[in-house]
Each structure stands twice: as C-alpha cells, then as structure tokens.
C-alpha cells in the first residue's frame, strides 16, 4: 500500500495565526506537539500520524541558530524552513501589511507547492478578502490561496485537503506508534540538542548527537540518561567546560524544558562520549536514525 509523508513548513509574521492554524489542522489527530523541540532540519511543532500518511508540521528553525541573532530575523527563518519543505504554507493576517521584500523572493524560489493562507477573515469583509486574494495573486501567484479563520476552524479542512493532495509518496520519517516513550525520548533529545545549539559556538552543535540511553518512568519522577556524542576529545572538553560548568548549564536549561514538556519532575544525567568520525561511520548513523 502506498504511503505519504512529508514536512509542511508554516511561515509568516508573528501573530499571523500560525500556531492556531496548526492546532486546527492537527486537531484531535495530534500525536504530539511541542513549541520547544528542534531538529537539525526543522523545528517540529506537530506530527499527524495516520495509517496512510504522516504529516510533520514545522516552522522557523532559524531561531535556534545564533547567527540569525534576533528572532525577528524573518528572512533567515524563512530561508531555513524552506530548505527542504515539501509544502509551504504562508500564513498572513488579513489585517497585516505585507510589504514587498526578500521573504517573498525566497518563497518564490522554492520548488515546493505553496499555499497562501489569508487568516482571520472573521475580522474583515468579503470585499477585503477578495482584495487580498487579488494582492496575493499578483505578488506571489501561489498554487492556491485560502481564506481562513483558524480560530473558528473555518476553511481549515480545505487547507488540510491541499496538504494531503501535495504530500509526497514517502515512508514515515518518525515512529508511528502513538504517544509512547519513544516519542517522548525523541523530543527530550531534541530539547537537549536545542540547549547545545544555544550555548555553544557553531562547530560544537554540528558535531554532536544525542542518544537517550535510559528513560525510566517512576511515579513522581522520570529518570533520564543521555549520551552526548562528539567526534574529538577537544570537543568533549569544550562541551564539559571548566569544572563541568558548561555541561551543567545544558543540564539545568534542558531539565527545565523537559519538565515543562513532560509535566513531570525529571532527573537528568548526561555523559559526553567521543566517537571519532561518527558522521562517516555508517553503523552509527544507522543507530542514530539517519538512514533506514
Ligand atoms: P503565530 O504567532 O503566528 O503563531 O500566531 P498565533 O497562532 O499565536 O495567534 C496570534 C493571535 O491571533 C492569537 O491571539 C490568536 O487567538 C489570534 N488568531 C489566530 N487566528 C485567528 C483567527 O482566525 N481570527 C481571529 N480573530 N484571531 C485569530
Ligand atoms: K504568537
Ligand atoms: Mg506561534
């Protein structure tokens, strides 16, 4: 039986309604959502799993990369999240001014199908909606334009049908079992990765990988062990920092977010391990899930 899977990038200005739309799209089918988790390629905000498809919604991974500085650096964000999106949703508040700028140039350059979602149409007249549709036809000429009210779940199903129509044939990217600790493990490792991205210069984040080696659920606490894999002793030293200070920081920040995510107290221990040249070693890549 054929199976579809892909990444849907939701881009747009702050407060356009991206999160609200995503929640409406994911709806009851939501297997997991986190505003925190980051991956190398995408910031995953929600995954929809069905027998025949898996949709991975994501936005703005650029925010975790220090080089982009201010989170408002929307160009950077758009740039990043477009890299390998299978489908792009540009969400725009019908009331916002969307000036001509590079963002649109970047969007125009992607080869992925684009939908413009004019959101919050509950706050405007039919004429205003029509005018905006004209505007977007002229400015971007996307594959399709929707008028939605994500807040009131109006016309969100049309957006969903567009996604399902454009989703590529592909095996699932992530485990499809329902909310098990596998999923939680994945997000826990992503939270740790995010902290490493935030706390270290660029070489370190890109040469590390995180493996959750233990995830023990007790009544009042989860005991989590993680291995941080690096390629060289020098990287291990940087990660740990003088007197272990840096790693301690990673642990403190990560624990806070993981507790918020799991809604439970956790005990987190982390070990840094050197595996020379792990990127080139196939069996390791395999066990990290980069190849199937
Ligand atoms: P994001 O920053 O793009 O993720 O935007 P949010 O999803 O957080 O929404 C920003 C604000 O707009 C929130 O107060 C939402 O309740 C509101 N909002 C989102 N969608 C709609 C809509 O369709 N109609 C109206 N009236 N408000 C909306
Ligand atoms: K917001
Ligand atoms: Mg949001």
Question: Rounded to the nearest whole angstrom, what is the distance from the C-alpha of residue 139 to the centroid of ligand 3?
Answer: 24
Q: Are 194 and 233 in contact (CB under 8 A)?
A: no
Ligand 2 is an ion; its neighbours by CB within 5 Å are 15
Q: Please say whether the beta carbons of 57 and 10 come within 8 A.
A: yes
Most ligand 1 atoms within 8 A of CB, residue of 15, 22, 60, 146 to mutate: 15
Give me ligand 2 centre to Cα 19, in Å: 7
Nearest protein CA to atom 17 of ligand 1, as residue: 17
DSSP state of 279: G
Give the DSSP letter string of 80-147. Answer: HHHTT-SEEEEEEETTS---S-HHHHHHHH--S-EEEEEE-GGGS-HHHHHHHHHHHHHHT--SEEEE
Residues of the chain within CATH 3.40.50.300 domain(s) are: 4-166
What is 4-166's CATH number, 3.40.50.1370, 3.40.50.300, 3.90.550.10, 3.40.50.10440?
Answer: 3.40.50.300
Please report, in tens digits, the pLDDT of each residue of the chain (292 residues total): 689 999 898 888 778 888 788 878 876 444 444 443 343 344 556 778 888 998 888 765 333 333 333 333 344 445 556 666 899 999 999 998 876 665 677 788 888 999 999 999 999 999 999 999 999 999 999 999 999 999 999 999 999 999 999 999 998 877 675 444 456 787 788 889 888 988 988 778 878 888 888 889 888 999 999 999 998 999 999 999 999 999 999 999 999 988 887 778 999 999 999 988 776 664 555 455 444 3
Cα separation, 199 vs 270, in Å, equals 16
Identify which ligand lies nearest to the alpha carbon of 148.
1
Q: Whose CA is nearest to atom 10 of ligand 1?
A: 15
For ligand 1, pick from 16, 151, 154, 155 the residue to mutate: most ligand atoms within 8 Å of CB: 151
Fold of 181-288: GMP Synthetase; Chain A, domain 3 (3.30.300)
Write the DSSP symbol of residue 41. Answer: S
Ligand 1 contacts (CB < 6 A) are: 12, 14-20, 119-120, 122-123, 149-151
Q: Where in the chain is the domain with CATH 3.30.300.20?
A: 181-288
């Amino acid at each position: 039986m054929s199976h579809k899977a892909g990444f849907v990038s939701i881009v747009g200005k702050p407060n356009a309604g991206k999160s609200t739309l995503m929640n409406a799209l994911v709806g009851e089918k939501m297997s997991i959502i986190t505003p925190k988790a980051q991956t190398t390629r995408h910031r995953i905000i929600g995954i929809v799993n069905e027998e025949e498809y898996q949709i991975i919604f994501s936005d703005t991974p650029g925010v975790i990369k220090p080089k982009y500085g201010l989170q408002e650096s929307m160009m950077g964000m758009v740039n990043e999240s477009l890299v390998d999106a299978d489908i792009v949703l540009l969400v725009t508040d019908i009331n916002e001014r969307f000036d001509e700028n590079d963002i649109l140039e970047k969007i125009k350059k992607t080869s992925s199908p684009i939908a413009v979602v004019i959101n919050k149409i509950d706050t405007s007249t039919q004429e205003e909606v029509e005018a905006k549709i004209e505007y977007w036809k002229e400015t971007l000429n996307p594959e399709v334009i929707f008028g939605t009210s994500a807040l009131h779940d109006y016309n969100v199903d049309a957006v969903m049908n567009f996604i399902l129509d454009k989703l590529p044939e592909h095996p699932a990217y992530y485990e499809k079992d329902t909310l098990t600790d596998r999923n939680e493990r994945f997000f826990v490792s992503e939270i740790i990765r995010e902290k490493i991205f935030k706390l270290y210069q660029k070489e370190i984040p890109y040469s590390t990988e995180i493996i959750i080696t233990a995830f023990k659920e007790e009544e009042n606490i989860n005991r989590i062990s993680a291995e941080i894999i690096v390629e060289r002793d020098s990287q291990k030293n940087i990660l740990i920092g003088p007197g272990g200070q840096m790693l301690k920081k990673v642990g403190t920040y990560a624990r806070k977010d993981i507790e918020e995510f799991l809604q439970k107290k956790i005990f987190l221990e982390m070990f840094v391990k050197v595996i020379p040249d792990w990127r080139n070693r196939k069996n390791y890549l395999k066990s990290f899930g980069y190849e199937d």
